[in-house]
Amino acid sequence: MPIKQESSPHLSSQCSSDTQDTIVAISTPNIAVSGGANRGAGSVLGGGIAIVRLSGTQALKIASLIAVPVKNNTLNTNSKNPSNQIINQKANQKTNQESSKDKNQIPTQNPSATQAQNTNFTQHQAKSKIDFIDLSPRHATLCNVYDKEGILLDEAIIIYYKSPHSYTCEDVIEVHCHASDIIAQKVLQSCLHYGARLARGGEFTKRAFLNGRIDLSQANAIAQMIATKDAYLQSALISQLKGSLGDFVREVREVLYFALASAEVMIDYSEEDIPSELISDIRTKLESLRVRLAKIYDFSTTRAKIGNAWKLAIIGKPNVGKSSLLNAILLQERAITSNIAGTTRDRIEEEIIIDGSIVRLIDTAGIRTSTDMIESKGIQLSLQALQEANIVLAIFDSSRPLDSEDTQVLDALSKNKKDKKILAIFNKSDCKNVLKNQDIKRIENLCDESLSISALDVEHTAHTLQEKLKEIIAKSNLNGEVILSASYQLESLKTSIANLDLALQRLDTSELELFAYHIKDTLESIGQITSPYTNEEMLDKMFSQFCLGK
């Protein structure tokens, strides 16, 4: 049955979940789930802390079975878990009393995740009392952490988030241990032994969504925020997590409700009695809204194509200075340069960061007609890079007249200029410019902007191009406006624009009942940006794209 999830800006005092089990996962991405051939055992992977996260009704109970607070901040050198010993003594006493009953025998190992769920805390089902660990909510407690045999694993910080004041709206335990594969895995295995289930990808966030702590747009923002490497998108997604997308939808709905209320009032009046100023006001508001929605849609779809990195292709005829330009931007010799045409035959890629945005530079083989099989393959790769690029640097030699190879470059640009920013780069500005004015105008008409540089002046060239790239990237951003990153959000916005167009058409012909009908459709489709109609299959697909532990 479809679920309509409404946005919940305030945390409810009582949370519920369809799932009653307790889940666990390593929540730090730089700690691998299993060892790798190229890593040493127990190696530290990029940080000092690994976090093992538990969520569910048994989280505190499991923490009580694997950890004991350190008294006076002194590491307990006893290799056995004292609470485990007490529990085992109580379990043994109970077992001796009922030795005739085989069902009370204590298994030494949890055979599987399924059995773990059916036999949670089998070791302690002899009615023995478990002394819950003394953890103050939202306080860090230094603890000794033990494995299922009671062997000391690590000295760790444990933080308890009591329901509903946690990420999932359930009881949450975080074990902050040292960043070792071995330690993190053993803590995880200890939790699994005592009844936790290994969390699926995105299951913590899914529980937060199902418990009403976040809406689906915020859940999507979390996934994108973790995945993105772009500083601008990161900032926009943080705003979205804080509810900017919900604010945007409310603003749009206010305009639509005004139009709908006005239309329903006007339906009861004859056409002669309808104030023309009101019709004009409605049209102005809706047309302005339509422009805004289209701008957001175009920008969001463009950013979706860019992904985590802008693609910048450097193209031109052979021996025009493409590789020299790449080296100048990178301030290092990445590509081999020579005065022999056709030196670059393969596609060379490097990444730089411009104002927090990753730009992938692609140096390509010179575009020309070639009978050499290897060079021809390189030229095909050049044309492919041109098609994929968001930004194109088209290089021309200003010290030589335009020739047939330059014309081939211009033809390629003409066929692939859609959705691209093209910069004409006139290289060799240190030499006399012999290009004809008509050729310069032809190039500039095809490109968005032009620059004159000398690849020999490395520092100046690097500074000039990087400043231009900063400008291009800055202009491409919709500062202060929302970004839609999920496919369902883009589809909802596209439908909203189409419905709004139909409404405007009916307004122009004074068909107010049909106008009101299309406005209602627009209200419904715009609302699905933050509160779509979902089913379990859609939710599973969405949250499975999250990283494990989130």
Contacts of 467 (CB under 8 A, 6+ apart): none
Q: Which of 457, 454, 459, 465 is nearest to 432 (CA)?
A: 454
The answer to the question of residue 548 being in a domain is no
Whether 460 and 522 share a structural domain: no
CATH of the domain at 179: 3.30.1360.120
**DSSP state, 151?**
B
Whether 254 and 200 share a structural domain: no
Strand-pair partners of 314: 363, 393
Distance, in Å, from the CA atom of 36 to the CA atom of 457, rounded to the nearest integer, reads 45
Contacts of 538 (CB under 8 A, 6+ apart): none
Backbone φ and ψ for 276, nearest 5 degrees, come out as -65, -30
Annotated binding site for Mg(2+): 323, 344
Greater pLDDT, 44 or 220 = 220
pLDDT tens, position by position, 247-280 = 999 999 999 999 998 888 888 765 666 677 888 9
The answer to the question of residue 481 being in a domain is no
Chain mean pLDDT for the chain: 78
Mean pLDDT across 273-294: 89
The answer to the question of residue 125 being in a domain is yes
pLDDT band of 107, cuts 50, 70, 90: very low
Distance, in Å, from the CA atom of 298 to the CA atom of 471, rounded to the nearest integer, reads 19
Distance, in Å, from the CA atom of 44 to the CA atom of 100, rounded to the nearest integer, reads 50
Greater pLDDT, 23 or 236 = 23
Distance, in Å, from the CA atom of 35 to the CA atom of 26, rounded to the nearest integer, reads 14
pLDDT at 129 over 60: no
| pLDDT attached to residue 273 | 64
Q: Which of 109, 110, 119, 144 is nearest to 58 (CA)?
A: 119
Identity of the highest mean pLDDT range in 57-61, 223-227, 374-378, 455-459: 57-61
Whether 349 and 428 share a structural domain: yes
Domains of the chain: total: 3
Annotated binding site for K(+): 319, 338, 340, 343
Whether 292 and 321 share a structural domain: no
CATH of the domain at 520: 1.20.120.430
Domain boundary among 434, 450, 476: 476
3-state secondary structure 218-278: HHHHHHHHHHCCCHHHHHHHHHHHCCHHHHHHHHHHHHHHHHHHHHHHHHCCCHHHCCHHH
Whether 288 and 349 share a structural domain: no
**Domain of residue 163, residue span:** 3-215
Q: Which of 354, 413, 422, 352 is nearest to 382 (CA)?
A: 413
The answer to the question of residue 13 being in a domain is yes
3-state secondary structure 284-320: HHHHHHHHHHHHHHHHHHHHHHHCCEEEEEEECCCCC
168 burial level (CB within 10 Å; 0-12, 13-18, 19+): buried
Strand-pair partners of 142: 157
Distance, in Å, from the CA atom of 550 to the CA atom of 545, rounded to the nearest integer, reads 10
| pLDDT attached to residue 131 | 63
Annotated binding site for GTP: 319-324, 338-344, 363-366
Strand-pair partners of 154: 145
The answer to the question of residue 537 being in a domain is no
pLDDT tens, position by position, 136-170 = 899 999 999 999 888 999 999 999 999 999 999 99
The answer to the question of residue 535 being in a domain is no
Domain boundary among 191, 215, 239: 215
Q: Does residue 25 sit in helix, strand or coil?
A: strand
Q: Does residue 485 sit in helix, strand or coil?
A: coil
| pLDDT attached to residue 46 | 58
| pLDDT attached to residue 326 | 84
The answer to whether 233 and 358 are in contact (CB under 8 A) is no
Annotated binding site for (6S)-5-formyl-5,6,7,8-tetrahydrofolate: 53, 174, 213, 550
Q: Kindly report whether the global pTM for this prediction surpasses the value 0.95.
A: no
The answer to the question of residue 221 being in a domain is no
| pLDDT attached to residue 171 | 96
Whether 134 and 248 share a structural domain: no
Domain boundary among 187, 215, 243: 215
Backbone φ and ψ for 62, nearest 5 degrees, come out as -65, -40
| pLDDT attached to residue 278 | 84
Whether 191 and 43 share a structural domain: yes
pLDDT tens, position by position, 389-433 = 889 999 999 999 998 888 998 999 999 888 889 999 998 888 888
Q: Which uninterrupted H or E stretch holds 55?
A: strand 49-55
Whether 390 and 492 share a structural domain: no
Whether 256 and 270 share a structural domain: yes
The answer to whether 214 and 245 are in contact (CB under 8 A) is no
Distance, in Å, from the CA atom of 339 to the CA atom of 341, rounded to the nearest integer, reads 6
| pLDDT attached to residue 80 | 56
Question: Cα dihedral angle (40, 46, 49, 51), rounded to 10 degrees?
Answer: -90
Whether 244 and 123 share a structural domain: no
| pLDDT attached to residue 396 | 92
The answer to the question of residue 174 being in a domain is yes
Whether 295 and 312 share a structural domain: no
Cα separations (Å) of 305 from 26, 47, 472, 478?
32, 32, 16, 16
Backbone φ and ψ for 158, nearest 5 degrees, come out as -115, 130
Whether 183 and 203 share a structural domain: yes
pLDDT band of 32, cuts 50, 70, 90: very low
Mean pLDDT across 454-460: 82
CATH of the domain at 329: 3.40.50.300
Least confident of 118-122, 385-389, 448-452: 118-122
Pairing of strands 152-161, 309-315: unpaired
Distance, in Å, from the CA atom of 251 to the CA atom of 350, rounded to the nearest integer, reads 42
pLDDT at 119 over 70: no
Tokens 């000398």 found at: 454
The answer to whether 68 and 76 are in contact (CB under 8 A) is yes
Q: Does residue 176 sit in helix, strand or coil?
A: strand
Annotated binding site: 53, 174, 213, 319-324, 338-344, 363-366, 550
| pLDDT attached to residue 493 | 96
